[in-house]
Amino acid sequence: MTDVRADGQRKRVFIRTYGCQMNVYDSDRMADVLRPLGYALSDGPESADLVVLNTCHIREKASEKVYSELGRLRDIKLERRREGADLTIAVAGCVAQAEGAEIVRRQPAVDIVVGPQAYHRLPQLLAEVERKAARRRAGKPFPGAGVLDTEFPAESKFDHLPAPLGVRAGSAFLSIQEGCDKFCTFCVVPYTRGAEYSRPAASVVAEARQLVAAGAIEITLLGQNVNAYHGDGPDGATWTLSRLIRAIAEIDGLVRLRYTTSHPRDMDDELIAAHRDVPILMPYLHLPVQSGSDRILEAMNRGHGRDHFLRLVDRLRAARPDLALSSDFIVGFPGETDTDFDDTMRLIEQGGIASAFSFKYSRRPGTPGALLEGQVPENVKDARLAALQALLGHQQQDFNTAKVGHTVPVLFAEPGRRPGQMLGKSPWLQSVHVAGPASLIGRIAEVRLTAAFALSLAGEIVPPFEVAA
Ligand code: 5AD
Ligand code: SF4
């Protein structure tokens, strides 16, 4: 086994992931990089030799969590050192990228700060930490501060990361695009993830094949601006997302394909047609619009108005009539009036949004929005968020209720909260629970939906149980 050291000891790494699915994918890739160095996964910091916090910088709350977690890790590290052992602490992800030097200053117990584009260099960074530890053990009083790697390297990490090793419960993420050039005025992503980059199509298709061979029946293609994908194709042409979807859909054994997160500006005719033509492309699309007010969309630098979004929704529904739409909304962007907010509420109704993530605007240092006048008071943001979430809650419940009585394929992912209960996802990404055996996990079964709740549905497996793959 590769996760046993030459001295017979097994090293353990605990990776805590905050934020988006891109970070979930990256955390798995970091585990893959660390495995050949002898690291097996542990399920908590107490049993780990190395802890990696894979952080999120999108809103203030997410960032601040990192510092309190680092305080707890420092205490574990001090305790270990008293016992003659150690704990290596690494901070990865978008907070690492944005606040690298600040992290090391605020929390000297941190050994490594590594930005999202440099994970393939983790082995060198760990070797550097080991050299410093040796100097400290030799009695050198100042072994040096934490090791920082937050450059955007010329090479792509994707060319240097090992192939994905495992698939959980039949479902896998596949990162195809990173970074963003759109510079929405509220958003840190163009600064933390860098310029838009698309992986070459051949390497994406090869990874999709590996994932299917490793047991994936569902793949979700990931990117901060996934539908802006424009990778070099094996034929010398530039491939768009729709071209890539059509190629991946050919892989034998793959039964579900999804992509996220899209931008309304990059939803072209070809991609809309893919929703009509590619049966394994699931009838669910996450299409963040952020606001329903033309004035606010303009101030956000979104590059489109409310009509563009609503027209897109109509065209998508014409292509795939059973399509469910989800979105992201920000309330309380600087200058947002009651009328602007009302426009957002009407857009949610008109667009028939089935579910959404919604947030209070968070002022992020370094973004143009942070400097705008007309910052909205916290109590107004709270009230708008509550009203918006109530409306979305109703629409989600209605959407779920409309599926009761239907029989749908469910991909099972994990045990439910109650004994004997299994939890899975419908094609519309609804959580569905049934009474069933653990052997359902990672498989698709037909389920008759019997009851709808705000956030889930209950159902019964339709006998005879068959895997619909
Ligand atoms: N404040 C609040 N929400 C934000 N998002 C991004 N930046 C901010 C911010 N500064 C939200 C957007 C985006 C989602 C991932 O996070 O809705 O689509
Ligand atoms: Fe952020 Fe806008 Fe880029 Fe999305 S499109 S990552 S919200 S800057």
What are the sequence ranges of the domains in the chain? 12-149, 157-330+338-355, 404-461
Residues with Cβ within 8 Å of 1's Cβ and at least 6 positions away in sequence, in order, are none
Closest to 283 in 3D by CA, of 426, 449, 397: 426
Ligand nearest to the CA of 304: 2
Q: Which CATH number fits domain 157-330+338-355: 3.20.20.70, 3.80.30.20, 3.40.980.10, 3.30.750.210?
A: 3.80.30.20
Ligand 1 centroid – CA 246 distance (Å): 30
Q: What is the pLDDT of residue 360?
A: 97
Residues 390-396: contacts with CB under 8 Å, at least 24 apart: 391/345, 391/348, 391/349, 392/348, 392/353, 392/355, 392/356, 392/358, 393/454, 395/348, 395/349, 395/352, 395/353, 395/354, 395/355, 396/354, 396/355, 396/454, 396/455
Q: How far is CA 390 from CA 136, 339, 400, in A?
A: 56, 18, 15
Q: Which amino acid is at 34?
A: L
Token duo for residue 304:
């489109």
Residue nearest atom 5 of ligand 2, based on CA coordinates: 182
Task: Please give the number of the atom of ligand 2 that sits closest to the Cα of 224.
Answer: 6
Residue 263, class by beta-carbon neighbours within 10 Å (0-12 exposed, 13-18 middle, 19+ buried)?
Answer: buried
Ligand 2 pocket at CB < 6 A: 180, 182-184, 187, 189-190, 224-225, 263
Q: What is the pLDDT of residue 351?
A: 97
- Residue spans of beta strands (DSSP E) within 339-379: 355-360
Q: What is the pLDDT of residue 465?
A: 52
Rounded Cα distance, 266 and 158, in Å: 24
Task: Please give the number of the atom of ligand 1 that sits closest to the Cα of 328.
Answer: 17
Ligand nearest to the CA of 367: 1
Q: What is the pLDDT of residue 143?
A: 61
CATH number 2.40.50.140 given to 404-461? yes
Ligand 1 centroid – CA 105 distance (Å): 27
Rounded Cα distance, 345 and 385, in Å: 11
Q: pLDDT of the chain along its 469 residues, tens only?
A: 334 444 445 899 999 999 989 999 999 999 999 999 999 999 999 999 999 999 999 998 888 889 999 999 999 999 999 998 999 999 999 999 999 889 999 999 999 999 998 999 999 999 999 988 888 888 775 566 677 777 777 677 777 777 776 788 999 999 999 999 999 999 999 999 899 999 999 999 999 999 999 999 999 999 999 999 999 999 999 999 999 999 999 999 999 999 999 999 999 999 999 999 999 999 999 999 999 999 999 999 999 999 999 999 999 999 999 999 999 999 999 999 999 999 999 999 999 999 999 999 999 999 999 999 999 999 999 999 999 999 999 999 999 999 999 999 999 999 999 999 999 999 999 999 999 999 999 999 999 999 999 999 999 999 855 444 4
DSSP tag of 290: B
Q: Which amino acid is at 185?
A: T
**CB of 186 closer than 6 angstroms to any ligand 1 atom:** yes
Ligand 1 centroid – CA 243 distance (Å): 29
Rounded Cα distance, 130 and 36, in Å: 17
Ligand 1 centroid – CA 229 distance (Å): 21
Ligand 2 centroid – CA 182 distance (Å): 6
Closest to 458 in 3D by CA, of 283, 417, 395: 417
Q: In CATH, what number does 12-149 get?
A: 3.40.50.12160
Reported as half-sphere exposure (CB side, CA atoms, 13 A), residue 264 has a value of 27
Ligand nearest to the CA of 180: 2
Q: What is the pLDDT of residue 469?
A: 44
Contact 343, 370 (CB under 8 A): no
Question: Quick check: helix, strand or coil at residue 400?
Answer: helix
What is the maximal distance between C-alpha atoms in the chain?
Answer: 72
Ligand 2 centroid – CA 247 distance (Å): 27
Ligand nearest to the CA of 23: 1
Closest to 426 in 3D by CA, of 464, 393, 399: 399
Residue nearest atom 18 of ligand 1, based on CA coordinates: 328
Q: What is the pLDDT of residue 3?
A: 40
Q: What is the pLDDT of residue 468?
A: 47
Token duo for residue 243:
């071209």
**CB of 98 closer than 6 angstroms to any ligand 1 atom:** no
Contact 412, 436 (CB under 8 A): yes
Residue nearest atom 1 of ligand 2, based on CA coordinates: 187
Residue nearest atom 2 of ligand 2, based on CA coordinates: 184
Q: How far is CA 278 from CA 246, 255, 320, in A?
A: 7, 11, 10
Rounded Cα distance, 389 and 402, in Å: 20
